[in-house]
Structure 1
Amino acid sequence: MIKSMTGFSRVEKVSGPYQFRVEMKSLNSKGLNIINQLPGYLSMKEIELNNLVQEYVSRGKVQTRVQVKFLEPPKVLEIDKNVVRAYYSMLDEIVGELSLPEPVKLSDLLNFREVFRIELSDEEIENIWNHLVPILREALEKLVEERKKEGQKIGADLKRILEDLSSRVEEIEKISDQLPALYREKIKEEVEKILPQDVSVKEDILENHVAFMATKADIREEITRLRSHIKRALELIESDEPVGMNLDFLGQEMLRELNTILSKSISGEITSLALEGKVLVSQFREQIQNVE
């Protein structure tokens, strides 16, 4: 069954000396757009994270947010003394200019996050990453499941639209099969109005006119192609593969066939049915904008 491009997952777990929180959100996108929010010391792992996401998702805007809490003190925690001095100088200047009664305190300086710098060894970073990967996979699996659930709803709507479109095509075909006889009757009536009563029309001339009109308005090929597109779309809806772009292409082709039918139509009923078909195809194309 098709998958939606929208979904959300969250996994919180303790693994080793770390507590992880991973959130993933996916939205509509023409292609695959990956956006990551990682702790600075894991920035070197962003490419590996991108490759991991691509194992599970092929289309959509995927946003990943990772938070890591150390359950044991990290091996290296430094204070940037130059940054502390700069902040102290700035705050002390403000205190003097505003004649504030309270001097600058250590607690004031500790509010600035830039004061602290975590310098982790490559070994520590690799250890964090190895604990994080299984949690990322779990979050991605949950994300895919959410996208599948949403995809089932979209698939049901798409099937309903295609069934309605198929019924319109059947009605169009029934009417088009009756057109030659209708053309013959209509042409004969028009000719009899124009010619005197004692003048008759040769049957072969009348039939030639009927054949010409029927050929001009022949829509059998368009109907055959429409049915083929509907059948293929129904097959793709049942697929587990990413088919959003293929469905969008089929929607364009259905619209093309209906436009051709409208340009050939000399029947008010066929015109009305083809217009209804165009509305259904528009609904179809709107829905598949959310399909992976």
Structure 2
Amino acid sequence: MTKSMTAFASSETEIGALTINCELRSVNHRYTDILIKLPERLRFAETEIRSAIMAKISRGKIECTITSKKQIKDSQSLFVNRDAVAALLTAARQIEEQMTAPQSFSALDVLAFPGIQQEPELDKDELNRGIAELVNRTLLKLLEVREREGQQLQILIEDRCRKMQIYTEAAKKRMPDVLQAIRNKLKDRITDMVAQPDFDRLEQELVFLTQKLDIAEELDRLETHIKEVLRVVQQDEPVGRRLDFLMQEMNREANTMGAKSSDKEITKISIELKVLIEQIREQIQNIE
């Protein structure tokens, strides 16, 4: 199934006294590029988060943001570093002894001083398990979005491929008339120029020229590439790079058709094919 590289998902969970949120954003990228943003106290989980993402996503730029906050129900429980308080009060008394007009301060002033309030010890094993479950749950949501977007892209690509098949079939039907018109035109011009033309030699030259102007091979290769695109988009694996390569090959064949053609209808078909190929190429930039 075709997957898009563009998606967003988020999830939230409670672990101990913390509420932890995970956001995943992915956009198109030529390779796999993972950026993880974590609070410093959760930095230990970065390696496992990166491994979890790499196991599920093979292409795209993925940004994972983990944030944490204390739960409101625990906000009234303060853990005070009593040794830090004692040291602060001792220092304050020593300073006051040297001041002519000492200023009083409240307990709230003490609590606001860095290092006085202590965070409860975090259980790293519990956090690791909780964060891993949270990231995996968010990843599943992200993959669902990527698949839904990919299905829409697949529909657009298949629609344009069907249009290209119509154009290639029209070009094939047109070619016998084009080649015959070239032969007749050249015969008339040479007959006018030469009183007694060598028609055997002329026929040989015409065969060579019509072969040079014939676009049957280009049309056959285009049809083969179109069928391959329709097959590839059905695969349940990353297909973006292969589709991009096929677009390059199809564009080359369409360009050759335009360069060879001396017929307005074939030239028009060549242009229409290149427009459709470019439209598919734009969609493929978002496919994993």
TM-score (norm: length of structure 2)? 0.81
1:78 & 1:5 partners in 2: Cα distance? 48
The aligned counterpart of 1:14 is 14
Which runs of 5 or more structure 2 residues have no equivalent in the other structure?
A: 89-102
CA contact (8 A) 1:179 1:214 kept: no
2:52 & 2:79 partners in 1: Cα distance? 29
Number of aligned residue pairs: 269
The aligned counterpart of 2:212 is 216
Deviation, 1:138, is: 1.0
1:5 & 1:80 partners in 2: Cα distance? 53
The aligned counterpart of 1:142 is 141
Question: Secondary structure at the residue paired with 1:290?
Answer: coil
Q: Residue type matched to 2:57 in 1?
A: V
User: 1:167-206 maps to which residues of 2 (within 5 A)?
Assistant: 167-195=166-194, 199-206=195-202
CA contact (8 A) 2:5 2:26 kept: yes
User: 1:87-166 maps to which residues of 2 (within 5 A)?
Assistant: 118=119, 120=121, 124-166=123-165
1:266 & 1:112 partners in 2: Cα distance? 85
TM-score (norm: length of structure 1)? 0.80
Q: Residue type matched to 2:44 in 1?
A: M
Question: Secondary structure at the residue paired with 2:265?
Answer: helix
Which runs of 5 or more structure 1 residues have no equivalent in the other structure?
A: 86-101
1:116 & 1:17 partners in 2: Cα distance? 16
The aligned counterpart of 2:226 is 230
Deviation, 1:223, is: 1.6
Once the two structures are superposed, residues 233-292 of structure 1 have per-residue CA deviations (whole angstroms, 9 ceiling, x without a partner) of 111111221111111111111111112222222222222211221111111111111111
1:125 & 1:132 partners in 2: Cα distance? 10
The aligned counterpart of 1:97 is none
Specify whether residues 290 and 193 from structure 1 end up closer, same or farther in structure 2 by C-alpha distance, changes over 3 A only.
Answer: same
Deviation, 1:112, is: 9.1
CA contact (8 A) 2:218 2:256 kept: yes
CA contact (8 A) 1:36 1:64 kept: yes
CA contact (8 A) 1:180 1:211 kept: no
CA contact (8 A) 1:6 1:26 kept: yes
Deviation, 1:16, is: 5.4
CA contact (8 A) 2:48 2:132 kept: no
Once the two structures are superposed, residues 55-100 of structure 1 have per-residue CA deviations (whole angstroms, 9 ceiling, x without a partner) of 111111111122334556899886997xxx9xxxxxxxxxxxxxxx
Specify whether residues 75 and 24 from structure 1 end up closer, same or farther in structure 2 by C-alpha distance, changes over 3 A only.
Answer: farther
CA contact (8 A) 2:6 2:27 kept: yes
Percentage of identical aligned residues:
32
Question: Secondary structure at the residue paired with 1:258?
Answer: helix
Alignment of 1:269 onto 2:268: no
- Which of the numbers 253, 267, 274 marks the counterpart of 1:257? 253
Specify whether residues 113 and 192 from structure 1 end up closer, same or farther in structure 2 by C-alpha distance, changes over 3 A only.
Answer: farther
Let me know the Cα RMSD of the aligned residues. 3.2
1:64 & 1:47 partners in 2: Cα distance? 12
Specify whether residues 153 and 36 from structure 1 end up closer, same or farther in structure 2 by C-alpha distance, changes over 3 A only.
Answer: same
Deviation, 1:200, is: 4.8
2:129 & 2:40 partners in 1: Cα distance? 17
Specify whether residues 75 and 207 from structure 1 end up closer, same or farther in structure 2 by C-alpha distance, changes over 3 A only.
Answer: farther
Specify whether residues 103 and 27 from structure 1 end up closer, same or farther in structure 2 by C-alpha distance, changes over 3 A only.
Answer: farther
Q: Residue type matched to 1:14 in 2?
A: E
CA contact (8 A) 2:37 2:64 kept: yes
Deviation, 1:203, is: 3.4
1:163 & 1:79 partners in 2: Cα distance? 76
